[in-house]
Every structure is written in structure tokens, then in C-alpha cells.
Amino acid sequence: MNREEKLYHELNKFFEPESVAVIGASEKPGTIGRAIMVNLVGKFKGKIYPVNIKYDKVFGLPCYKSVLDIPGKVDLAVIAVPARVVPKIIDECGKKGVKAAIIISAGFREIGGEGEKREREVVEIAKKYGMRIIGPNCLGVYDAHSGLNTIFNPPDRQHVPQPGPVAFISQSGALGAAVLDWISIMGVGLSKFVSYGNAADVDESELIEFLTIDPKTKIITAYIEGVRDGRKFMNAIRNAVRNHKPVVILKAGKSEHGVRAVASHTGSLAGTYRVYEAAIKQAGALLIEELWEYPLILKALAWNPIPRGNRVAIVTNGGGAGVLATDAVEKQGLVMAKLDDNTIDELRRALPPAASPHNPVDILGDAPADRYKNAIDIVSKDPNADMIVIITIMQAPAIDMNAMREVLKEARKSIDKPLVLVAPGGKYTEKHSKLIEKEVRIPVYKSPEEAVRALRYLYEYKKALERLQ
């Protein structure tokens, strides 16, 4: 068994176990043990063993006083008990033959002193038994494909995405929960989520290595505060990108005060941000600056091909929006496509005399769906256009949005270039934007600036791929 195979064998127990022991299981409202049990019982098809000295049954399942009392094999232990007893619990898990443990409990390195000593003890015990640990001080793990959900947020407050291609790892549990909610309403779909907290054993680098091998993961995203081994981390990113899996990272701790906050949150060391920025980009990752960019970039990566170049063509029914998109193209370091003379002649023949056949192509505010179809078809065939921004001011009375959705479906099927849609507006626009994303899989943005920024990230991924091949 080579290193990759060994890592996959070890870490896959966190996502596809046949049996799970929940140590600290409970039915008591408001407890972490209850939330974990509710989430597990909801979708997980394997065996669930509640462990708690206080109960004989939890949610109708036999409850054991110790993991050692469980009659069957235990692949994964989820530990949600006070930190002081965690070393004893890990030792019992080791004796039971458990090879993977998620430690939800806080009170370790992040508090310093005794907590740091306790964390080292836990890792030493786990190593003695060949056990891998995620955490401590974490939210849990969710696998959308296997149904394993060890997150301790109640399901009425924490939505989880349907199965899909995006994996998300987060050093922060609370922020990870918010991003999970975001992904669940985007419709992109998730492969795996890991809140890894203090990373006492399994760290961000090993998780990226695992996700690079994982066949269900196509896009890797991460929120990180500090990195234990910079060289290992960069190598993991580089290998993922070489395997055609984009890596999207949001790095916290950019300011002096932010660095101090990181230390008190997960006990991590956060170095100078500019050093991280240069190294992460050099390794091929897409480094986002703000939290709100997650949904922006994920839709673009999940639903679009890689662009051939950085030249952008715009088709719009609003002149002002076209100008804003043009400004955004220049600001983001992309290039406005210079349309071929043949393309311009075709557009002149297909569009009304008052329309503009030059980029941005303004098809006028009275444009119906079939005018969009003609313009998009013609522009998409232009060899000078690598990416296309379609702007629909849906408030215009001439557009039948059902017909427009059919136009976009056909465009998605026939055009092998990145397509993004801009649709600013309120309830009516939002309703049809969601339908387009659900049925057509073209990402929709509220502003030209968002759409063009998404295209910039697509182009950066293309450049990273070329550099690392």
C-alpha cells in the first residue's frame, strides 16, 4: 500500500464508516449529544451506538456505558464530553480498535496551559493505537453522499447541501456552518465538509491530499487560519491543481489584531498574510479576499468549462449595465473581446438598426428572448470571445422569462465557453434567477462586477493549470 492509498484508507473512515459510536449521546434538548444523534439518525444507514453512563436508551437505541461495552465493531467515534475525560475516552477507543475519532469537545490547545498539555496527551494515546483524529474543538464532519452527519448544530437551524462536487474544509466551525447553509441554497451540491478545529492530528494538508484522491470531489474549498507545515500545505495544493481540482482558499488573520484572534480561536500560528498570499497563489490556489466570494466562485467553477483565454464578450438589453460590465472587465484585469468583422456584420443583420453590434453588444431594452438567442449564438462563435457575460434586465416587458430560460438551456448545451448571467433586481428577478440556476446550470449574479470577478477567477485557474503542467 503506497502513501496515497494508506491516507485514503485511514481518512475515508471519517466519511464512509459502517458504524459510529456517539460518546456523550443524549436526548436532552439543547445538548450537543442530542443534535449529533438527530443528524446521524436522519440519514446515516450504518450502525449507531450511543454511549453515555446516564442512559439505557437514546432515541430507541441501546445506550452503552462505555465504548468497550459495544458488542460490534466501531469504525468511527464522535466524542462530545468534557475535555478532562477525553484522554480516557480515546484510550478506551484505542482498546476497542477504533481507528478514527472526531473530537467535538473544546478546552485544548486554544486555551493554552493545561489544555495544550491535554491535547498532546490525546495525540500520543491515539498514535499508540494507530488511530486518526479530527479536532478537537470542531463542529464535525458531513458527507452528503454517504449521509454521515456528525455536525452538532440542530437540523432545523443548520441546513446541509445535497450531494455534489464541492468539498469544504474549515478551521472554524461557526463559519463552516454558515458556508454550508450558503451552499445548500445555491444548489451547487457538496461532497464532503470537515470542520477540523485545532488540527491536533489530521490537518488541512492531509485533508486536501485526501480530497484530491476522492472521486466524488471536483472542487476543494478551505477556510484556514494558520498552517502547521507550509511546505506540506503548498505541495498538497499544487498536487490537487495538477489533478485538475481547483483549490479555493479564504485565509483569515490578515491584520495584526486578526493574527492575535486566530491564536485565541484555534491555537494556530498565523504568519504574515502577504507571505501566505504569495505562496498560496504560487502553489496554484485561488485566494479569495472576502467571505461573500465563496458562492460567487463556486458557481462559476462548478458549472463552466475552463476558458481558452481572458477575452470577454457582453450581450445586454441595458446599455448602462453593459458599460458597468465593461468597466469591471478592465478593473479585473481581463480584456474586452474585439469582435471579428464577420461577427459584427452578422449582428447588424440580425439586430434592429438602433442596436450596437460592437462589444458590449446592446440588443436594446425591447429585446425578446429570440433576439437574445440570435445575439448569443453569433457572439459565441466569434474566435476572439473566450467568455460571455449575458445581462438581462428582467423588468423589461418584452422578455418572456420562460422562453428566455429555454434560450439559455440551448446556449448551455451548445456553447463550450464560460457563460455567466447578470440579473439585477428584486423578487421577480430572484425567482427566475433561481429557476435558471436550478434548471440550466448557468451562474446568475446580481451585478456585472460580481459576474466579471467570477470570470477572473476562472481565468486564474486556467493560468495556474498551465503553469503547473
Q: Which residues are registered as beta bridge partners of 163? A: 190
My answer on whether 102 and 166 are in the same domain is yes
Q: Is the dihedral of CA 338, 343, 347, 349 positive or negative?
A: positive
pLDDT, mean over the chain: 93
My answer on whether 45 and 8 are in the same domain is yes
Look up the domain containing 328 and give its range.
305-468
My answer on whether 356 and 291 are in the same domain is no
My answer on whether 165 and 254 are in the same domain is yes
pLDDT of residue 227: 87
Tens-digit pLDDT profile for residues 166-220: 999 999 888 888 888 888 888 899 999 999 999 999 999 999 999 999 999 999 9
pLDDT-derived band at 424, boundaries 50, 70, 90? very high
Q: CA-CA distance, 414 to 73, in Å (whole number)?
A: 52
Q: What is the dihedral of CA 254, 181, 108, 38, to 10 degrees?
A: 180
pLDDT of residue 186: 85
Of 249, 282, 299, which marks where a domain is finished? 299
My answer on whether 235 and 384 are in the same domain is no
Let me know if 467 is exposed, middle or buried by CB neighbors in 10 A (0-12, 13-18, 19+): exposed
pLDDT of residue 205: 96
pLDDT of residue 148: 97
My answer on whether 223 and 113 are in the same domain is yes
Of 299, 330, 360, which marks where a domain is finished? 299
pLDDT-derived band at 254, boundaries 50, 70, 90? low
pLDDT-derived band at 429, boundaries 50, 70, 90? very high
Opening angle at CA 139, ends 31 and 213, nearest 5: 145
Average pLDDT over residues 63-82: 97
Inform me whether the pLDDT recorded for 260 exceeds 90.
no
Average pLDDT over residues 28-35: 94
My answer on whether 461 and 362 are in the same domain is yes
Rounded to 10 deg, the angle between the 173-186 and 293-303 helix axes is: 50
Of 246, 279, 299, which marks where a domain is finished? 299
My answer on whether 250 and 351 are in the same domain is no
Inform me whether the pLDDT recorded for 269 exceeds 50.
no
CATH number of the CATH domain containing 370 = 3.40.50.261
My answer on whether 99 and 227 are in the same domain is yes
My answer on whether 211 and 354 are in the same domain is no
Inform me whether the pLDDT recorded for 115 exceeds 80.
yes
Inform me whether the pLDDT recorded for 300 exceeds 90.
yes
Tens-digit pLDDT profile for residues 386-413: 999 999 999 999 999 999 999 999 999 9
My answer on whether 319 and 187 are in the same domain is no
From the DSSP assignment, how many helices (H) and strands (E) are in the chain?
A: 16, 19
CATH number of the CATH domain containing 169 = 3.40.50.720
Domains held by the chain: number:
2
- Residue 54, SS3 per DSSP: coil
My answer on whether 90 and 56 are in the same domain is yes
